[in-house]
């Protein structure tokens, strides 16, 4: 008895990156030379042979064009340039995070000042700040305290931030979001 088990569910890895040389399925392609000049429309075999003569690869640049646009260049250099472009784009993007500051309607002035100082620090860094005022028990009868607190927050942060989401109730808590100007 053999230990052979057929692997029915084996994953086949798809080749990564753009199509090159024999992987290009089109019959005719628009070819751009290694110097950047347009060489015109050629049959795929001619284009691959021309690239091989130069010691380079035929890489599909624009597969959706009719006919597809291919360029004669080094595959390794092309992949390196694509990776470099992706890294540059990743560096430039700004990730905005949402910081949350929780308060109560009876928050004392010192605690309030401390939390506002932190909120201003977050806003100047470029983050959004979500203020949450929680109401417990009979505090729900004094909703105006929460509204006054939210108005005070808006007034204290108006020089560096603007209100994205105005104060609103969600169950037993009042929520407001302030974003940088």
Q: What is the pLDDT of residues 7-21, one digit of tens each?
A: 666 676 666 778 888
109 in the same domain as 174: yes
**CATH code for the domain in which residue 136 is found:** 3.30.110.10
Mean pLDDT of 13-40: 86
121 and 57 in a single domain? The answer is no
Report the interhelical angle of 109-125 vs 143-157 (nearest 10°). 50
Q: pTM of the entire structure?
A: 0.54
DSSP letters, 123-151, are HHHT-EEEEEEE--GGGGGGHHHHHHHHH
Give the per-residue pLDDT at 131: 96
Same domain, 138 and 64: no
Residue 3 has pLDDT above 80, yes or no: no
What is the pLDDT at residue 21? 87
* 82-128: pLDDT as tens digits: 899 999 988 888 777 899 999 999 889 999 999 999 999 999 998 99
What is the residue range of 166's domain?
A: 98-180
- How crowded is residue 98: how many other Cβ atoms within 10 Å of its Cβ? 11
pLDDT of 69 higher than 90: yes
Asked, for residue 104, whether it belongs to a domain, the answer is: yes
Q: What's the structural domain count of the chain? A: 2
CA distance 120 to 160: 7
Distance, in Å, from the CA atom of 43 to the CA atom of 160, rounded to the nearest integer, reads 61
Same domain for 35 and 106, yes or no, is no
Q: How many Cα atoms sit within 13 Å of 168 on the Cβ side?
A: 7
- Residue 71, pLDDT > 80, answer yes
Is the same domain home to 71 and 120? no
User: Does residue 174 fall inside a structural domain?
Assistant: yes
- Using alpha carbons only, what angle is made at residue 98 by residues 125 and 169, rounded to the nearest 5 degrees? 130
Domain of 33: which CATH number?
3.10.20.80
Instruction: Say yes or no to pLDDT of 39 above 60.
Output: yes
Domain endpoint, select from 79, 114, 148 = 79
In this prediction, residue 93 carries a pLDDT of 80
If asked whether residues 116 and 50 sit together in one domain, one would say no
Same domain, 105 and 170: yes
Of 4-13, 68-77, 112-121, 169-178, which range is least confident? Answer: 4-13
What is the per-residue pLDDT for 142? Answer: 87
User: How far apart are the C-alpha atoms of 106 and 109, rounded to whole Å?
Assistant: 9
Which pLDDT value is given to residue 65?
87
């Amino acid at each position: 008895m053999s230990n052979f088990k057929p692997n029915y569910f084996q994953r086949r890895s798809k080749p990564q990156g753009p199509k090159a040389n024999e992987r290009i399925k089109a019959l005719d392609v628009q070819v751009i030379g290694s110097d950047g000049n347009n060489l015109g429309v050629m049959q795929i075999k001619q284009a691959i042979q021309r690239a091989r003569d130069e010691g380079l690869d035929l890489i599909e640049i624009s597969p959706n064009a009719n006919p597809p646009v291919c360029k004669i260049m080094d595959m390794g250099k092309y992949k390196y340039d694509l990776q470099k472009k992706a890294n540059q784009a990743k560096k430039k993007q700004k990730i905005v995070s949402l910081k949350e500051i929780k308060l109560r309607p009876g928050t004392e002035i010192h605690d309030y000042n401390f939390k506002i100082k932190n909120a201003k620090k977050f806003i100047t860094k470029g983050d959004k700040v979500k203020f949450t005022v929680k109401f417990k028990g009979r505090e729900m009868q004094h909703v105006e305290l929460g509204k006054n607190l939210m108005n005070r927050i808006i007034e204290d942060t108006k020089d560096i931030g603007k209100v994205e989401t105005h104060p609103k109730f969600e169950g037993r808590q009042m929520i407001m979001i302030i974003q940088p100007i």
